[in-house]
Structure 1
Amino acid sequence: MQEVAVEEERRLAVDESIRRARAISVELRKVARKARTPRPTISGGGGFRARKGDRLFRLFAVGSLVLLFVVPTAVVAFYYSIVASDQYVSEARFSIRSADSSGSSPMAGLSALLGSGQATDAAIVAEYVKSGAIINQLTDSFSLTDLFTTKRWDPISSLAANPTSEDLIKYWKGKVDISVERSSGLTTLRVRAFSAEDSLRLTDEILRISELMVNRLTRRTEDNGLREAEAEVHTTKDRLTNSILKLKAMRDSTGILDVTLAAAANTEVLTKLRLEKAKLDVQIQSLEENDSGSAPQLGSLKNQATAIGQQIAVYEQSIAGGDTDSSIASRGAELSEAETDLKVAQTEYQKAVAVFEAARMTTERQRSYILTHVQPTLPEEALYPRRILIVFTVALGTGLLWAITVGLAMLARDHTA
């Protein structure tokens, strides 16, 4: 019995030892898991003792916060609240219309509906305003270097001293904003300057120069058309002069001023001669029938009839005889041809003169106009720089940058721990 009791006690002791070993193992695992769980960096880390390098990590987090967030935000806030100069904006909205778009053309309505020509001209104006070409035109009325140099120290907004042409063009593009609606050709122009008066004066001058530029686009074509019309006038005038001289020479050689009048006059004389001869023939026949052949007046009447007959033959020959060189018919054909050439030359000369006058009037008038729908006005308050928006944007951006930087550093630290 004692051996059984001893064996039982020994078994119980072994079970107790196993139970205690299991309990200790469970507690050790809990402590190990707790030690492996990271704590926030600002609390000093986790585990039984702070991890090695946690202090350096806290210093990195604080230093990066200052460098990436606090310093940039403070610098931007200081600049835009104290240093940055006010900038005034003058705005104008306009469209370009041609003097020919009056609606008389059958395609005028379609062109006005599509607005393609106006949009093209507006796009050209937009490119011209943003280019250096308009700067050369503006320098005749403004000193852009003085105009874009602030009276206070502002290294960011102000134009640099003694700028190159490339620097001036780059700065100009930042001060002028122009946009075009492709469907309607409506153009919006916004000009920034450090004073309200300068902004308004610049906008007005840009509109004036742009209108002159648009009219110069078609000037070369119009000048070529004027020169061609003038040359055609000289050509048709020479042709008309030659036709007049030719007709004069033919009238001098033939002695006929008007073929119709000459033919009518000869025909009238011929008719009278024929009537006279007919009367003589009647008298002669009457005398012969009355056996008055020995009448003394019979010979005289026959002589008169013979003379009139000869005259009739001459007139008939002169009107339309076989001699084509001397008859009125042959000479009339030549004169009619010369008169026709003269009329054609006169018509061509009149048309050439009309075309020349139209071309001259076209070159003298203004072809395109800038119709300003929104007139530029004197700004009352500065719209730029947008201080609050810029400071808020910088603060938000630098804050996100710091958070991303610290988050990546924490991931790297936990991965290597």
Structure 2
Amino acid sequence: MALFFLLWVVAPLSCVVGYLYWVAHDQYASYVGFTVRSEEVSSGIEILGGITDLSGSSTSDTEILYKFINSRQMVEAVNRDLDLASIYENPDDPVFGMPLDGTIEDMQAYWRRVVKIYFDTRSGLLELRIVAFAPEDAQRVAQHIVSESTSIINELTAIAREDTTRYAREVLDRTIERLKEARQAINTFRARTQIVDPLADTQGHLGLLNNLQTQLAMALIELDMVRQTARSGDPRITQGERKVQVIEARISEERNRFGSETETEDDTYSRLVGEYEELAVELEFANSSYLSALAAYDSALAEAQRKSRYVAAYQDPTLAQSAEYPQRFLISALTFGALLLSFMILCLVYYSLRDRQ
């Protein structure tokens, strides 16, 4: 039994204690604590109404960071900038050092050994403990974790802002295209008809028609007066009748411009005015839609700018002055307790089997 105790308890404990005190290298810890803050600057209406919420913590973002710090992306980013192999590979300490020439999976598994995360779900606070064989290396790793966490939060904020304004931007782009098409249709109509504004042009023709009708009335009156005083065949009667015929022909021609069964539909002023009014209504509607979409986009952009998230560190990465790890006495005590407990269990099993025989 004494020999078994020496082989089962004393010998392993001696190996563990010897490795801890004579082989294992000191490890230094750097601590950092931060959380994600969400700032929402209230609009003027909300401030006047007394509804303000200037700051708050976003637990969901903190949970994202909790997963991100342990992710492969974080390990690859830190390894790319700091070269984790040069920090943690230690051939003289294979137990606490990172495996030599290990894969990224080995590096990620070792990362979870040296980077411990403590997450308070109630307050949304994150506290990290990073250990390394040199205090400066532990602090550098901690600082880089904070930097990468800030970058991922900034990316999430940019994505949220883009999502907020994307729909308003799409609507604005559609209204701009519609406004361009409406203006192009107006320009095409004016180039085809050589008329800038058919409504104004129609008013001019109506004025001309009224003037011709006035002249026709005056010519008829003059003709009647001449007929009453002159004899048949008088040249003045012939001249007056010719003048009346010319004015009537001109009036008929002007009226045909507004619509005639003898002319095609595209040549009539009624058709041109109707077409122009349709284009003008479409242009007015497109312009109103553009102004509304522009106001909605500006509002969405202002709303997105008022919301921001950032990493707020309440404890900057510390620089250790003394080694905290490995905890030699604690590991030795736990090892002794486990070996002694297993030894006692095996002894009880042995004596129980022997008594039953």
Contact 2:38 2:56 survives alignment (8 Å): no
Query: Residues 303 and 186 from structure 1, CA distance in 2 versus in 1: closer, same or farther, beyond 3 angstroms?
Result: farther
Structure 1 113/97 Cα, relative in aligned 2: closer, same or farther at 3 Å?
Answer: closer
Q: Secondary structure at the match of 1:202?
A: helix
Instruction: Give the CA deviation at 1:113.
Output: 8.8
Cα distance, 1:241 vs. partner? 7.0
Larger radius of gyration: 1
Match of 2:49 in 1: none
Deviates more, 1:295-304 or 1:310-319: 295-304
Of 65, 68, 84 in structure 2, the residue corresponding to residue 144 of structure 1 is 84
* Residues 19-168 of structure 1 mapped to structure 2, 5 A cutoff: 60=1, 62-96=2-36, 119=60, 121-150=61-90, 153-168=92-107
Render the CA deviation track for 1:13-45: whole Å, top value 9, x for unaligned. xxxxxxxxxxxxxxxxxxxxxxxxxxxxxxxxx
Flag the 1:251–1:284 CA change in 2: closer, same or farther, 3 A: same
Letter in 2 for 1:267: L
Structure 1 residues 164 and 140: alpha-carbon distance in aligned structure 2, compared to 1, 3 A threshold: closer
After TM superposition, the structure 1 stretch with the greater mean CA deviation from structure 2, 298-307 or 372-381, is 298-307
Q: Distance in 2 between matches of 1:377 and 1:387?
A: 23
Q: 2:325 aligns with which of 359, 378, 384?
A: 384
1:283 to 1:89, Cα distance in 2 relative to 1, 3 A: farther
Any residues of structure 2 matched to 1:1-400 within 5 Å, and which? 60=1, 62-96=2-36, 119=60, 121-150=61-90, 153-180=92-119, 186-213=125-152, 247-281=186-220, 287=225, 291-292=228-229, 303-322=242-261, 323=263, 324-340=265-281, 369-400=310-341
Structure 1 counterpart of 2:138, which letter?
A: S
Contact 2:88 2:98 in 1 (8 A): yes
Q: Which amino acid aligns with 1:378?
A: L
Aligned partner letter, 2:320: P
Are the aligned partners of 2:37 and 2:57 in contact in 1 as well (CA < 8 Å)? Answer: no
Give the Cα–Cα distance (whole angstroms) in 2 for the partners of residues 240 and 269 of structure 1: 36
What's the offset of the Cα at 1:192?
1.7
Q: In the superposition, relative to structure 1, how do residues 102 and 383 fare at CA in structure 2: closer, same or farther (>3 Å)?
A: farther
Q: Deviation of residue 148 (structure 1)?
A: 0.8
Deviations along 1:112-170, whole A, 9 cap, x unmatched?
A: 9995xx52x5445444432433333223222211201359x433212243334443232
Partner SS, residue 191 of structure 1:
strand
Q: Using the TM superposition, give the Cα deviation of residue 73 of structure 1 relative to its aligned residue in structure 2, in angstroms.
A: 4.2
The residue type paired with residue 269 of structure 1 is L
The Cα of 1:330 is off from its aligned counterpart by 1.1
| 1:5 equivalent in structure 2 | none
In structure 2, the gaps of 5 or more residues are 44-51, 302-306
Q: Which amino acid aligns with 1:194?
A: F
Q: CA deviation at 1:393?
A: 2.4
- Residues 91, 189 of structure 1: 8 Å contact kept: yes
- SS of 2:31's partner is strand
2:30–2:138 Cα contact (<8 Å) kept: yes
* Alpha-carbon distance in structure 2 between the residues aligned to 1:241 and 1:396: 83
Whether the 8 Å contact between 2:57 and 2:124 is mirrored in structure 1 is no
**5+ residue gaps, structure 1:** 1-59, 361-365
Q: Which residue is 1:54 aligned to? A: none
- SS at 1:319 equivalent: coil
Give CA deviations for 1:272-320 in whole Å, capped at 9, x if unaligned: 33334444555566x379x545698776555544433333332222234
Residues 160, 241 of structure 1: alpha-carbon distance in 2 compared, 3 angstrom cutoff:
closer
